[in-house]
Amino acid sequence: MTKTALITGASSGIGLELANIHASKGDNLILVARSFEKMKALKFELENSYKISVHLIKKDLSLLDSAKEVYDEVKQKNIAVDYLINNAGFGDYGMFYETSWEKEQAMINLNITALTQLTKLFVVDMVARKSGKIMNVASTAAFQAGPSMAVYFATKAYVLSFSEAIQNELKDFGITVTALCPGATESGFTDAANLHESKLMKGKKLPSSKEVAAFGYEAMMNGETVAIHGFINKVMALSSQIFPRKIVVKILRQILDKSQ
């Protein structure tokens, strides 16, 4: 039986690559993003290459209750979502006292509120069917505090904690929840977060969105709860459990500082 994957932030980066993977497996798609023209081109490509159905929803999920609008549209189409992939998110770079509250508010709305509301709405249907898989894209940022990206790191800590908790609640219903935790990745995130000048990014060879998406897909299909991409990222994630948090935060501040 053909399954359906709903993917947010599907017009570029990891979301686009996850759309390609699901399409190649024969899954129908519901793609959600603000960039409708990019999604239209992707729809044409995937439907012609894989003979699947792709439904597009143009939506800015940083706006409150936009997640409910997405859910209502899916229900009106009478589509059952088997895979919910909350991928949409963005960050910002700079000292908290200097950054824009409007951008941070939108970040919290997208990274936390929309992700939680979409999960809340679709998981009720999954529980009724006793099946389903959810992937929430967190980050290695979830494991420690991040000076100069304070709000972003905090939102991803929420995503990780939330995902682990509901995985425990939902396991008896045959539903798995996976928190995908990539590190720095070759995607549009760097542009959106203004990270180019940080030591974290400057001159670094980053893994591709395609590589991270493939890793995340396998982790979700295997029912892994926390999936950290890359050996170095796993070490960094564990560092906050080994060393005092104060030391980890100090080191991270140096890594995130602007490159001279």
Nearest to 117 by CA among 171, 172, 45, 59: 59
Cα distance between the two ends of the chain: 56
Q: What angle do CA 213, 218, 221 make, to 5 degrees?
A: 120
Specify whether the CB–CB gap between 191 and 197 falls below 8 A. no
- 139-180 pLDDT tens trace: 999 999 889 999 999 999 999 999 999 999 999 999 999 999
Mean pLDDT of 229-240: 76
Nearest by Cα to 186 from 169, 201, 171, 176: 201
pLDDT of residue 193: 46
User: What does the pLDDT read at residue 252?
Assistant: 67
Residue with the larger pLDDT of the pair 76 and 260: 76
Please tell me the CATH superfamily of domain 4-256, with its number.
Answer: NAD(P)-binding Rossmann-like Domain (3.40.50.720)
156 is catalytic: yes
22: part of which helix (H) or strand (E)?
helix 13-24
Q: Is the pTM of this model over 0.75?
A: yes
Active-site entry in 83, 156, 210, 217: 156
Q: What is the per-residue pLDDT across 49-75, written as a single tens digit (0 to 9) for each?
A: 999 999 999 999 999 999 999 999 999
Over the stretch 179-213, which tens digit does the pLDDT of each residue have? 999 988 876 655 544 555 545 555 567 889 999 99
Strand order in the sheet with 226-228: 54-58, 28-33, 4-8, 83-86, 132-137, 175-181, 226-228
Catalytic residue among 50, 83, 152, 217: 152
Active site residue 258: no
Nearest to residue 220, comparing CAs of 21, 69, 13, 50? Answer: 21
For residue 233, pLDDT beyond 80: no
Tell me the average pLDDT of the chain.
90
- What are the extents of the domains in the chain? 4-256
- Please report the pLDDT score of residue 198 as a whole number: 47
For residue 251, what is the enclosing H or E element?
Answer: helix 245-256
